[in-house]
Amino acid sequence: MNSMHSVWAKRFEHYIGEVMKYMRFVFTGHIAIVLVFIAGAGGYQYSEWLKVVQPDFPAEWLIALVIGFLVALSRPVTLLKEPDQVYLLPLESQMPNYFKKAMNWTFWSQLLLPVVLYIITIPLLKEVTTLSVAEIWLTALFIAVLKFINVRAEFNYRYANRGNAVLMDRFVRAIVSIIGIQMTLADGLIGVVFLVMMAYYTVTLKKKVQDNPVPYEHFIKLEQNRMMRFYRFANYFTDVPHLKGSVKRRAWLDIAYKAISYKKENTQAYLIYRTFIRTDDHFYLWVRLTAISAVVAMFITIPFVTWIVVGALAFATTLQLKYALMSAGDFRMDMLYPIPRDTRKQAVAKLLRQLSIVQAIIVTLCAVMQPQFYFIPIVIIAVSELTMRMSK
C-alpha cells in the first residue's frame, strides 16, 4: 500500500513541477494585464446587464446547461506512463489505492471551474429568482457532490469498458446532471433524486470494475493526449522542445500562394507562407488570438478597454509568429541556394503585415456596432508594426 502511495506522490510532484515550469511563461506580465482588463470590463458589462435583465429570463436552465456539461466532463487524470503497463503489473492488486489518489486529484482539479462559474451567476439568480441565500449555497454543494459522483462514474465506465462509447456515457450523465441542477434550482428536494440515480449508476459500474484487469493502454493513451494538449497550449507562449507539431494540407488556402510570383527572390516568401498555412501550431495560434480579439471587440462597449485588449493580443500574435517563423531550425532546400539571408526576414515581415491587416478587418467587422470602432484597425496594425520592428 505504501509503495503505491509513494509512486503517486512522486508522479504528482513531477507533474506539478512540469506544469509550473511552463505556466510561468503563459501568465507573463502583458497577459496578466490583459486578463485584468478583460475581467474588469466583463464584470462591468455583467453588472450593467443585470440592471435591465427581464424577470422571465431562463437563468435556471442556462446555468444548468453550462454547469451540467462541465460537471459531466470528468476525464480522469491518472498520471500513468507507458512503462507502467509492464512494471506495475506485479502491483495490480494495489492499484485501487493509486487510482483513489488519482480520482481525488481529478475531482479537486476539475471542481474549480464549475463552482466559480456558478458563483458568478449568483447575482443573476438573485435578480430573476426567489431563491434564498441558503438555497443558492445548497445548490453549490449539490454541484460539488454531483461532480464528485461524475468523476467516479466516468473513471469506472472507462475502466469497465476500456473507453468504448464513452461519449454516449458522458451524454447520458450530462443530461441527468443538467436536469438535476435545474430541478435543484427550482425545487431542492427533487434534485436529490438525480443524485441517487447517479450514485446508483456509479455503484453498478464499480461492480463491473472488480471483474476486469486494469486497462493500462486506455488510461496511458488518455494521459498522453491530455499532456499533449497542455504542451500545445504552452507552446503558444514558449518553446516546448519535445513537442512535435502536426501538419495539414489546407487546400482551400492554396489561393494564398497565387499572390506570390514565380521568381527567385520570392523563394523564402513561398516557404514562409507554406509553413504558416500548413503548420497547425502557427495557423491555429493566429486563429485563436484573432477569435479572442473579435469576441472582446463584439461584446465590450468600453472603447479604451477594447483598444488595450486587441492591442495586447496583436502584440502577442506578431511576436509569437515572428519567433516561430524565424527560429525554424530544420534543414530546408533553400539553404543550398545562394539566397541572401535577409530574404527570410523580409518574407516574415511581409506575411506578418498581411496577417495583421486581415486580423484588423475581422475584429473591426465584429466591433462595428460598438462606439469608436474605427480606431481598432489603427491600434492592431500600429501595435503589430511596432512589435515587428522593435523585437529582435
In this prediction, residues 315-321 reach a mean pLDDT of 89
Tens of pLDDT, residue by residue over 120-158, are: 999 999 999 888 899 999 999 999 999 999 999 999 999
**Range among 169-178, 314-323, 362-371 with highest mean pLDDT value:** 169-178
> pTM value?
0.77
CA distances in angstroms from 177 to 73, 85, 131, 149, 234, listed in the order given: 11, 34, 20, 10, 32
Phi, psi of 240 (to 5 degrees): -105, 105
The predicted structure's pLDDT at residue 328: 58
| Whether 252 contacts 265, CB under 8 Å | no
User: What is residue 112's predicted lDDT score, i.e. its pLDDT?
Assistant: 94
pLDDT at 70: 95
Query: Which long-range contacts does 157-162 make (Cβ < 8 Å, 24+ apart)?
Result: 157/205, 158/76, 158/215, 158/218, 158/219, 158/222, 159/205, 159/209, 159/212, 159/214, 159/215, 160/205, 160/208, 160/209, 160/212, 162/215, 162/217, 162/218
Pick the residue with more confidence: 239 or 198? 198
**Overall average pLDDT of the 277-305 stretch:** 86
Q: What is the average pLDDT across 2-17?
A: 89
Q: What is the pLDDT of residues 333-392, one digit of tens each?
A: 556 566 676 778 888 889 999 999 999 999 999 998 888 888 999 999 999 999 988 877
What pLDDT score does 1 carry? 46
pLDDT value of position 37? 76
Contact of 367 with 297, CB cutoff 8 Å: yes
Instruction: Give the confidence band of 255 by pLDDT, cuts at 50, 70, 90.
Output: confident
Q: Is the pLDDT of residue 331 over 70?
A: no
Please choose, from the candidates 301, 318, 336, 288, the residue with its C-alpha nearest in 3D space to the C-alpha of residue 379: 318
How would residue 251 be classed by pLDDT, with cut points 50, 70 and 90? confident
**Helix/strand/coil for 247:** strand
Distance CA 156, CA 162 (A): 9
Q: What percent of the chain has pLDDT over 70?
A: 92
Q: Sort 134 into a burial class: Cβ within 10 Å, 0-12 / 13-18 / 19+.
A: exposed
**What pLDDT, on the 0 to 100 scale, is given for residue 216?**
93
Least confident of 34-48, 141-155, 252-266, 329-343: 329-343
Name, of 3-7, 164-168, 327-331, the range with top average pLDDT. Answer: 164-168
Tell me what pLDDT residue 38 has. 77
Question: Hey, what's the cell of 86?
Answer: 509492464
Say which residue, 49 or 236, is predicted with more confidence: 49
pLDDT averaged over every residue in the chain: 87
- With a cut of 90, say whether residue 229 has pLDDT above it: no
Residue 101: band (very low, low, confident or very high) from pLDDT cuts 50, 70, 90: very high
In angstroms, the Cα distances linking 351 to 236, 320, 324, 328, 335 are: 18, 13, 13, 16, 20
Please report which confidence band the pLDDT of residue 224 belongs to, taking 50, 70 and 90 as the band edges.
Answer: very high
CA distance 118 to 50: 16
By mean pLDDT, which of 25-34, 45-54, 143-152, 186-195 is the weakest? 25-34
